Amino acid sequence: MTINGKTYIAGAFEHPTRHAPDKSVAQLHAEVALGALADAGLARDDVDGYFCAGDAPGPGPASMAEYLNLAKLRHVDATELGGASYVALAGHAAAAIALGQCDVALITLAGRPRSEGMATGTTPRLRDPNQPEAGFEFPYGLTTANGYAMCAMRHMHQYGTTSEQLAWIKVAASHHAQHNPNAMLPEIVTVADVVASPLIADPLHRLDCCVISDGGGALVIVRPEIAKSLRRPLVKIIGAGETVKHLAGGTFDLTTSGAARSGSAAFAEAGVEPADIKYASIYDSFTITVLIQIEDLGFCAKGAGGRFVSDGNLISGIGKLPFNTDGGGLCNNHPANRGGMTKVIEAVRQLRGEAHPAVQVKNCDLALAQGTGMQLGTRHCSATLILERE
């Protein structure tokens, strides 16, 4: 049993807001849900599968299903994989549709950490005192920023990666963001700008970090017969993979991520190779996140990521691997501190030929979306999705 070719992404919508003090989280979820349904040319009553993650208000899918008044649900899934959730949920929706559990799957994400004044990356957070590792991590001031920073520090030590090489990832994202009218940081930056920005957690600078934004996004995934009855370009799901990578009892390597496993599963299911991919959305909570995932997905050898991302190799129209052409989390949007949804949405835009003309990849028929959720420096979830334009 495979999901390859069993479903299509018919609707994709990214909320244009980046700051929503005047809207509730539920309201944002509803706005993106309706946006994606309108994009697909479908109605709320067509939805029989609803998928969400930990950002949806209340436990599980119940509150949002009620708020949206979804009346015909016969399949729900509230798998929580942090920022990778929405990449994984697209795969789950494909599997559910392939099994006949639903025909029209709606996936939503929304949140407002910017309005709520969350110091997302630099404050230690105790999420659940029952987490068995909590007593051995929380006292030490582990934050999002210094956890990822330790991955970067180790990668530099092991492979000679430099701050300048990491900076190229931000530079490429900024070249794309200049064309996005909704981007939080639309200014082009240089390698010198990135390395001159203040250190947050050595060796990561402020400009190595993603933005904090309000907003959200949604996807609608459907059976082939439905997709072909709609007036949208056909974007087919051909491969999906997911995994968890953790500290393995204290025997770990911080320079690799779960993308190695989720990526190889997705490539195997899709029957394609990294070299076939025309466009890649790569989760970019920090520059180092991109570098490690690019290596683990097989776009270059482990340790060669620093050289691979340099000199504009990720810039559309210039480099070999155009990435995050919306500006990504580094420059555009990281709604609810969860970047997986916008990764899938920009891949859909590219495959439809609906990216900004300045960043649209020519003949873009094969794209990848990669998500990493939670903490690369401890335990994280990884999900990979491979999409094809038919």
Partner 1 sequence: MTARQIPAPIVTVESEPFWNAARQGRFVVPTCAACGKTHWYPRAVCPFCGAKNIEWRAASGRATIYSFSVMRRVKEPYAIAYVTLAEGPTMLTNMVDCDFDALHIGQAVRVAFGETENGPPVPLFRPV
As measured in angstroms, the least distance from the Cβ of 292 to partner 1 is 13
> Which contiguous run of DSSP H or E holds residue 49?
strand 49-51
Q: Mark the segment that binds partner 1 (CB under 8 A) among 64-72, 202-210, 328-336, 363-371.
A: 202-210
Please say which residue, 133 or 187, places its beta carbon nearer to partner 1: 133
Please say which residue, 135 or 357, places its beta carbon nearer to partner 1: 135
Please say which residue, 249 or 357, places its beta carbon nearer to partner 1: 249
288 contacts partner 1 (rule: CB under 8 A): no
In the 8-state DSSP scheme, what is residue 44?
G
As measured in angstroms, the least distance from the Cβ of 131 to partner 1 is 9
As measured in angstroms, the least distance from the Cβ of 332 to partner 1 is 22
**Vertex 168: Cα angle to 255 and 213 (nearest 5):** 85
Based on the number of CB atoms within 10 Å of its own CB, is 243 exposed (0-12), middle (13-18) or buried (19 or more)?
buried
How far, in whole angstroms, is CA 117 from its chain's centroid? 22
Contacts of 49 (CB under 8 A, 6+ apart): 73, 74, 75, 76, 77, 93, 96, 97, 101, 102, 103, 104, 105, 106
As measured in angstroms, the least distance from the Cβ of 86 to partner 1 is 29
Phi, psi torsion values for 137, nearest 5 degrees: -130, -50
Q: Which of 146, 141, 122, 351 is nearest to 254 (CA)?
A: 146
Cβ proximity of 64 and 108 under 8 Å: yes
* Per-residue contact flags (x/-) with partner 1 for residues 113 to 152, judged by CB under 8 A: ---------x---x--x--xxxxxxxxxxxx-xxx-xxx-
* Per-residue contact flags (x/-) with partner 1 for residues 236 to 265, judged by CB under 8 A: -----------xxxxxx-x-----------
As measured in angstroms, the least distance from the Cβ of 283 to partner 1 is 20
Contacts of 371 (CB under 8 A, 6+ apart): 81, 83, 84, 85, 86, 87, 88, 283, 339, 340, 343, 381, 382, 383, 384
As measured in angstroms, the least distance from the Cβ of 256 to partner 1 is 13
- Options 154, 307, 352, 356; binder of partner 1; rule CB under 8 A: 154
Alpha-carbon span 66 to 68, nearest angstrom? 5
Please say which residue, 67 or 138, places its beta carbon nearer to partner 1: 138
Cβ proximity of 239 and 4 under 8 Å: yes
Residues 354-383 that bind partner 1 (CB under 8 A): 378
Cβ proximity of 145 and 121 under 8 Å: yes
Residues 204-233 that bind partner 1 (CB under 8 A): 204
Please say which residue, 264 or 378, places its beta carbon nearer to partner 1: 378
67 contacts partner 1 (rule: CB under 8 A): no
Which positions lie near partner 1, rule CB under 8 A? 122, 126, 129, 132-143, 145-147, 149-151, 153-154, 157, 198-204, 247-252, 254, 378
